[in-house]
Structure 1
Amino acid sequence: MQRSSDIQVIDDTGTLLTLLKPAKRIVSLTATGLDTLFELGLQPVGYLAKGIADQPEFYGVQAQQIASVGSWMFPQINRIKALQPDLILGWAFPHRFYKPWLNNIAPVYLMNKTGYEVTLQRLRDVGDLCDRTYAAEKAIAQFEQCLNIHRNSITTPHKTVLMMGGSSLNRWMGKFLVETDRGTLGSILQQLTDYPWYQPQNHRGEPGLMTLSLRDILAVNPDIIFVQTYSPAKVPLSQQLTNHALWQQLQAVQNHQVYEVDQFWHSGTGTRMLRLILDQLLPKIYPNLR
């Protein structure tokens, strides 16, 4: 029977979580979860061995206080258990496979969906679970204010933008990952640019991403291209494509409007990360905003 003091939210997989009291000790197995906690003014007791926690935009040297609980693909269950968390934040893939063991430790909130509204709801959910509802609404208001400032600052026609990524394997296959309008970043770029990369209705791949060939990209011929190179490639993807005939035909390439971006693109989809990404991208799209 539910008590009036119980805290209940539904995660991105449709699972109902019930906490008897607000979570104080949280383990995050995803950068998006860490981003969310940072926005709420909280610090996890456990996080990934490699991630964004020690970045100066997040916890910096204070991240040394956060225990390592393994990698995103291979979280270490015994280390998580030893931390005695009240709540575990993860991503549907791959953490749903670990859920039988994780559920024996603490309730698990799994993230899965993409999009602007989903990001805000996720912040509200974790805020409710941690008794930080006010902090969540404050962070949302700050993010929306940031977007409004950007919208009002753009006085020139919207540029056509592409956010793509891949590795040497993608170059060899001739298919590249493209952020779509249903991706979190893509849904925001649609508000600030001409972003015509629409995800098909019956898409079965990763939410918010689709694969396109250079011929597909040339059919749109964007003004500006942002590229993320996936490991283990040592040479930036844009450099790997330098001599490709179709790549050379793109006006963004001809006008020197191709920019390699760092790992922020796929390090998380929280409001903090999104603000950092926009701070990187918008001055390149609209130089008058500098």
Structure 2
Amino acid sequence: MTIKNRLAVELPGLNMKNPIMNSSGAVYFGLDESYDIEKAGALVTKTVTLAERSGNPQPWTVELPGGLLNSVGLANPGIHNVLKKFLPAIKAKYGDELPVMVSIAGETVDEYVTLTQLLTDTQYLTAIEVNLSCPNVDRGGMAFGVSAESASEVIAAVRQVTNLPIYAKLSPNVTDIKPIAKAVEAAGANGIVLINTVIGMSLDLHKRQPKLARGTGGLSGKAIHPIAVRLVYEAAQTVSIPIIGVGGIETVADALELMMAGASAVQVGAALTYNTHVMSNIIEAIPGALDNYHFDTIQELTRTFK
């Protein structure tokens, strides 16, 4: 069996040569040569909103012993610039060799629908990641992804206007992930991305104020990996659609652990901030790891922990 066949993973809209991709925001739009994007199984874009956003006040990030605390605020060029400039550039660079999943976010259901319609009318992507961690302005600012009702409402609305595969990106900042995972599956999601960042805060003792301008931020990195493993496992026991695991992946062992818990593929995020070659390093290490743990193919590993 060739290495290519051992590592291949086929998910709705994501026919991947290996199970490794970046997480949204980690490589912006994937046009920087330093991240070895061409070696990855798929590319996930920066989360896109209807209007251009400059993001939250600086500073955006704080490095902590266990990871990275960030409050970027979905800074992005807006959907029309993405359609006109960034997606054509991705197509020109990678052609049809790399599946592309565009991440979207809105503050209302209608915004998600409009973004989906605009993307569906192009030929530049193969799947849509629906980021449900945005505040729902129609309901007092509560994030869409923290309730089964609001999460499924978005997914059902998006499902009505596109034939593209859609992946619901769920939040870990909930009491129980299982009803939310079940709800987005019932609403028409083709897959789930889990987890997003964990809400945290870090204080400057000298200034007696938060280190992030906004106060709280999303924690990513090694510290959240055990949380990701638990939530992926719980979701995998609840749904039959594929799960893409994300959270604290720095090594091939981290990736395989999330897959054993229930993920069919994984995303790498915070680790790319200090090692731009981490994805290619993990990909190169997979065949040896499969041999070590006695698996013929990467797909055999998924959901092997029951």
Q: TM-score range by the shorter chain?
A: under 0.3
The TM-score, its normalising length taken from structure 1, stands at: 0.27
Bigger strand share: 2
Bigger helix share: 1
The TM-score, its normalising length taken from structure 2, stands at: 0.26
